[in-house]
Structure 1
Amino acid sequence: MFYAIREELEPQEFDKLDTNIFSEYSEDIKYQKLIECYLQIFEAIKYIHSQGLYHGNINTDNVLVNRQNEVFLLDFGKCYFYGLLGYDNTRFHSPEQLGFIKCDIDSKTDIFSFGLCMLKLLVGVGIFEDFNFSEYYNTPDDLYKIFKAIENDYKLNDIDNDLFVLIKKMTVINTNDRIPLSDLWQELINILSKTRKTYCFEINLQPKVAQDYREIHDITITEVIDDIESKIEKGKSYWSFGLDKEGNRIEKK
């Protein structure tokens, strides 16, 4: 007996994951939203693997996204059922699922399929909008010519290049050479950080403000700058202002 318990999804609230959902964003934001989407799929896969299971049928048709850009991975476990019936969409299957190599089918198969999903979505944004993934890819043997065509025909920026390098690590034919899930997370986070703009600010302290700050925090005057910088690095605001009894603007904290 096969059964599934899942959240009821209203059809009008969801769409299949497609590059069209990124079209409203500027080029810089497109990459940020794309990688955030990757990370949500990653979290779903990570949870499945933590239960000692694997999905086995990860593809873009099995991923829905709502209006809040929340991602839902569907069809978990159906690959076992489809396998018994001899029916399945095999385009995103791993080499071991397709019989290209002889080895056990396990969680590493999801990493390969996830890599294909990432590739399909990536070539649908930015400079690759004229690249038709479905025309180029049918089996794992097609990956080499896809990567070669992209390298020859497009000028990749740093983020494009980093993502393609990562996807190559995920779609290696030999299962033992594929990037592990634990490393995949960190690489995605590192790439995401490159999509976010960094803003630099200069803080000028009046002598009295610096002196008050030193007394409040019980530090020497030479430690003031280091103390402020350490607080800024933690991403929190430590400054607030008010008025004293005479109506002068003063620092509170």
Structure 2
Amino acid sequence: MDGKGRAAMGELTIWTYDWVPQGPRGFVRDLRLRWACEEAGLDYTVRTVPFDGRETNHLARQPFGQVPFLTDGELELFESGAGLLHLARKSDKLMPRDPAGEAETLQWTIAALNSIEMVSVPWWFLKISGDADNQLAGWMGMRLDQLESILGEREWLAAGRFTVADLLMADVLRVSDVRAFGDRPATEAYVTRLTDRPSFKKAQADQIGFFAAADEKRAEEGAG
């Protein structure tokens, strides 16, 4: 860091909230970037914006008031998908360098966001709201069945090996309600295989530990 607190060129910083409640811990999407860096062996630091007032306190850096966002020297990116693709360009452990492998990785990374998560997130919100007649259930089931047929035929989504596309797809699918929605053995085996990777386990443990430490800090500040 320079004297003004700015990241030196090429220094990766993952930004997340300074604290979150228990429920989302282990699922806040800075974990996606942590996991990618761990897989690729990329050094990074974690910095924070306040959870309280999050709707407006960092709009200049993330126009929707969300996390994560990523800085790489003077470069700044928001949205976890954009951050993942940026990291993938730094390491062939995340994305192959041959045109065919890169194209496959890109298409499946976008598919995780636009074909699966685009359905699973609103479906999940309706489910937890207590909507007894979730109108997205049929669409959700169709998309997961389509993916099940793919995963029944291959170990990895792209290039015949682990890529950032698998990282993102597994993170979308590992939500407990999504995993419990129907019996899809190939998908379950896929998610288990990905979340058994040491880099995922470290990234998840680091995030959970990070927010646990924030509990202690908030308790100390409250006591003071």
TM score, norm. by length of structure 2: 0.30
Higher relative contact order (CA 8 A, sep 6+): 2
TM score, norm. by length of structure 1: 0.28
